[in-house]
Amino acid sequence: MERLYFEDFSPGAIAEYGATDVTAEAIVDFARQFDPQPFHLDEEAARETMTGGLIASGWHTAAMLMRMNCDGFLGATAAQGSPGVEELDWKKPVRPGDRLSVRRTVLGARASSSRPAIGVVEFLFEVLNQERETVMTQKGVIFIRRRAAEGGEA
């Protein structure tokens, strides 16, 4: 697999990837572990709540984005984790039957002041549903190794 380094992420670049089918079973599984509220656990109980039906936990959607990022590019990238996420917004409910994908925009790229081998790439991730509606946005940075620093590669 071709390795991607800091230098491969140019500000302004946009990429699209991912196709996660959201099932009621997956929504309930995640919720039982991490977010056991009625609107994430049971279709019938959810109808009585402000969401009007079963919806995915926002943390489940964040986890699905992380997985799509791993499969979509991080698995082939010399990534070194993230110090955090500036903004995470849940724009629309994610419901059973939705198919989610990701639009990734590189917002900025800079050298790390403390670690010369590492670059800091700022990303905007927009999670889209099958209607191309934005259901979640996330803005944050990922540490990525610089090419020159890895095994003396050019």
Kindly list the residues in this chain that would bind other proteins in the complex (CB under 8 A): 33-39, 49-51, 57-59, 62-64, 66-67, 70, 74-75, 79-90, 115, 118, 140, 143
Task: Report in angstroms how near the CB of residue 131 gets to other proteins at its nearest.
Answer: 21
Task: Report in angstroms how near the CB of residue 127 gets to other proteins at its nearest.
Answer: 13
* Residue number with CB closer to other proteins (37 or 105): 37
Task: Report in angstroms how near the CB of residue 45 gets to other proteins at its nearest.
Answer: 11
Place of tokens 């990429």: 15
User: Rounded CA gap, 154 and 149, in Å?
Assistant: 9
Structure tokens at 141: 């940075």
Structure tokens at 103: 């639009």
Would you call 52 helix, strand, or coil by DSSP? coil
Residues 6 or more apart whose CB falls under 8 angstroms from that of 68 comprise: 17, 18, 20, 100, 101, 102, 127
* Residue number with CB closer to other proteins (12 or 90): 90
Task: Report in angstroms how near the CB of residue 104 gets to other proteins at its nearest.
Answer: 16
* Residue number with CB closer to other proteins (12 or 151): 151
The length of the chain in residues reads 154
* Residue number with CB closer to other proteins (12 or 24): 24
Task: Report in angstroms how near the CB of residue 72 gets to other proteins at its nearest.
Answer: 12
User: Rounded CA gap, 75 and 73, in Å?
Assistant: 5
* Residue number with CB closer to other proteins (79 or 109): 79
In DSSP terms, 123 is beta-bridged to 106, 140
